[in-house]
Amino acid sequence: MSGSDKVIRLFGTAEHVAETRKLSAGRLSALLDGGHLRDVRYDNVEIIRGVFFLVRDVEWGTAAIDIVDLKIDEEPTRFAVTFGAKCAGTSGFVYDCRIEGSGSGHLLFTAEGASRHDFLTNRVGFVVLHPLQGVAGQPMTIEHTDGSVETVTMPDLISPIQPAFEVRALSHDAAPGLRVMCRLEGDTFEMEDQRNWTDASFKTYVRPVALPRPFIVRAGARIVQSVTITVSGESHTVSGRSAAGPLTIGECKGFVPAIAIGFELSTDPDADHAAHLDAMKPQRLVTRLDARRDIPLNALRRLKTLQERIGCKQTLELVLPALNPDAEIAEVAEAVADTGLSIDAVVATGAYDLKMRPSNNVPVDAATPTDLIKAARRSFPDAMIGGGVLSGFPEFNQNPPPPEADFVTHTTSAIVHAADDRSVMETIEALPSVFASAKALGRNCPYRVGPSGIGMRINPAGSATAANPHGIRIPMASSDPRQDGLFGAAWTLAYITQAVASSVDEVALADVSGSFGVLGHDGELRPIFHVLRGFAGLAGAPARRVFNMPCGVAALASDGPMGTELWLANLMGTETELTINGSWQAAVLDTETFFKAQHNPAFLETFSPVTSSVPVAPYAVMRLRQIAG
């Protein structure tokens, strides 16, 4: 196997990704990543998740940058980095940066630049990410631009509004005894709770969102900003999570959720598609119908045929003009009855919920979410009627579902703000907050998430999702290459483990085909197919705790029909080795077995004995069954 073949099997793309460089100055360290800083640590405690200087367009897309004249001067107790940067695209913005770090716990990042011509933008300047650990639910001291100081408790559940305005400096305890101050100069900053978008961070950014946007940056106007991070005190805890011994299976911690899968009405599944989906046996199909257009009767008939073959339940998601909800939904119900399609659940939403809207602000003459639920119940009296949004959690959080809903729902995307592998995998860390917040807003009624995935199905903040003709890592794109690769399968397994821990009732993490599909363009099985098939077979089974898990590995144990199973996924780009108590046999999906898995739906059901020491390749998925006796 060539190097490029391996990369494609891992990520679904041969796109070159520049390596990060670790900068060290005594007890201070950071990763230099394409002109940005990530994973800033002191005594190996993460104090800042990232510092980025960004230029964003009117659709909130982030301009790529070309780095020139990069110079790095590194000594045991200090480092200094300088470089120039030019933004790709139409902005013409060029800037110079300097980064200085010292072992005493001082880090300075400055940027100064200007544009060669006028351009429209939604943001130009620094973004600082604080990690969740030490921040969520904890005190934060805020120095405001007017010099006043206050201490607030940061939100534990996700805040729909900014937790900090008019920011000049932020101070928090990254660990007991370790104080971190972040000072921002050059403009007015404010903070948002990025967990809304499944980013595992709190983001402090330049230019308050209440100000008009987009705005014009004039040719020649100088922009000068800086971020200064200062650490004081001593950490009294050991950072990170390490395995104290072999993996062990503990008590029950919940149940495996039902596995659903999305179905696009434009899809015309052939016999192979239907056979593979039948082999997967999801508990539910979720289909979106846009009632602003003609109702596609032939597509509904194809869906009925597919549903009958699989024998699963069906949710119908309706996008409505919401001007005359009874008539609009009744027309859909009549078409469904004509085709004989069996509908178990309906989610009726107004088209206005496909975009961001202020809390409780429904367009004039439009039906409210409560009106839509009541109308759906009249047209579909035997179905469960859901509430929520077909877009992301931010829209759900801003406008919680009404109490009349039988269940609540929303989607997620892992590439709203960033599309690099590290940021995408970090979104798993934010999911417990998303799930807990949604359950609280939904008053703990049944909770179904999706259809979701790494990619972005709807762009509520812009006119459309980003085009991705070359199949690379692009924020806000509906098509993400990692859906094709092992990375996507590992991410999906990790997502399900978080759903189990949060008692989510149902997850939909793929479609039948297309850019979100479990099936590739030529009908081959993507790695994600095997994860979803495996968990569909375990749906409703007790899930059990797994102890002594090292960082970067997702694990879930379950008492399935064939005995105790242990699912593992390596979420890192390096091999890891695990030690497991007891006798086990394993099936492994990695770069070596990738091709075989593409053509065998039952691939992860052929097991071989393993020793107690188990190597797990990068982004590999492993299914283990315990040997009785």
* Residues 308-340: tens digit of each pLDDT: 888 999 999 999 999 999 999 999 999 999 999
pLDDT band at 550 (very low <50, low <70, confident <90, very high): confident
**Between 443 and 581, the higher pLDDT residue:** 443
SS3 of 398-415: the string is HCCCCCCCCEEEEECECC
Q: Degrees (nearest 5) of the Cα angle 250, 254, 260?
A: 130
What would you report as the CA-atom Rg of the chain, rounded to the nearest whole angstrom? 25
Phi, psi (deg, nearest 5) at residue 569: -140, 130
SS3 369: helix
Contact status, residue 201 vs residue 110, Cβ threshold 8 Å:
no
| Token code pair at residue 503 | 């008692």
Burial of 570 (0-12, 13-18, 19+ CB in 10 A): buried
Q: Report the candidate in 269, 316, 263 with the shortest Cα–Cα distance to residue 291.
A: 316
Asked if pLDDT for residue 592 goes beyond 80, the answer is yes
Report the C-alpha gap between 234 and 178 in whole angstroms: 5
Whether residue 451 is preceded by a cis peptide bond, meaning omega within 30 degrees of 0, is yes
CB atoms within 10 A of CB 108: 16
Contact status, residue 307 vs residue 285, Cβ threshold 8 Å:
yes
Q: Among residues of the chain, what percentage have pLDDT more than 70?
A: 98
Average pLDDT over residues 403-410: 97
**What pLDDT is recorded for position 522?**
80
- pTM of the predicted model as reported, rounded to 2 decimal places: 0.95
Whether residue 615 is preceded by a cis peptide bond, meaning omega within 30 degrees of 0, is no
Strand-by-strand arrangement of the 584-589 sheet: 248-255, 542-547, 553-560, 563-570, 621-626, 584-589, 608-610
Angle separating helix axes 369-379 and 325-339, nearest 10 degrees: 30
Q: Among residues of the chain, what percentage have pLDDT more than 90?
A: 80
Distance separating the N- and C-terminal Cα atoms of the chain: 39
Burial of 104 (0-12, 13-18, 19+ CB in 10 A): middle
Phi, psi (deg, nearest 5) at residue 606: -110, 115
Phi, psi (deg, nearest 5) at residue 426: -65, -25
Report the C-alpha gap between 393 and 408 in whole angstroms: 11
For residue 87, how many C-alpha atoms fall within 13 Å in the half-sphere facing its CB? 24
Quote the DSSP letter at residue 159: P
Average pLDDT over residues 405-434: 97
Report the C-alpha gap between 293 and 288 in whole angstroms: 12
Residue 591 CA to its chain's centroid (Å) = 24
**What pLDDT is recorded for position 79?**
98
pLDDT band at 400 (very low <50, low <70, confident <90, very high): very high
| Token code pair at residue 496 | 């399900």
SS3 129: strand
SS3 280: helix
Burial 229-242 (b: 16+ CB within 10 A, else e): bbbeeebeeebeee
For β-strands 202-206 and 407-411, DSSP reports them as unpaired
What pLDDT digit, counting tens, does each position of 508-549 carry?
A: 999 998 999 999 888 899 999 999 999 999 999 999 989 888
**What pLDDT is recorded for position 250?**
86
Report the C-alpha gap between 546 and 395 in whole angstroms: 34
Report the C-alpha gap between 256 and 545 in whole angstroms: 12
Helices assigned H by DSSP within 149-295:
271-280
**What pLDDT is recorded for position 505?**
97
Asked if pLDDT for residue 7 goes beyond 90, the answer is yes
Domains assigned to the chain:
3-233 (2.70.98.10), 257-539 (3.20.20.80), 544-626 (2.60.40.1180)
**What pLDDT is recorded for position 235?**
77
Average pLDDT over residues 392-396: 95
Report the C-alpha gap between 580 and 245 in whole angstroms: 9
Q: What is the mean pLDDT of the chain?
A: 93
**What pLDDT is recorded for position 629?**
61
**What pLDDT is recorded for position 450?**
93
Report the C-alpha gap between 265 and 514 in whole angstroms: 12
Using CA atoms, how far residue 310 sits from 336, 452, 515, 528, in Å, is 18, 21, 22, 19
Using CA atoms, how far residue 151 sits from 141, 162, 170, in Å, is 4, 15, 10
For the ranges 151-165, 190-204, 224-238, 370-384, which has the lowest average pLDDT? 224-238
**What pLDDT is recorded for position 268?**
77
Contact status, residue 407 vs residue 445, Cβ threshold 8 Å:
yes
Angle separating helix axes 486-501 and 421-441, nearest 10 degrees: 30
Map tokens 């640590």 to a residue: 41
What pLDDT digit, counting tens, does each position of 199-251 carry?
A: 999 999 999 988 998 999 999 999 999 999 999 988 776 554 455 578 988 88
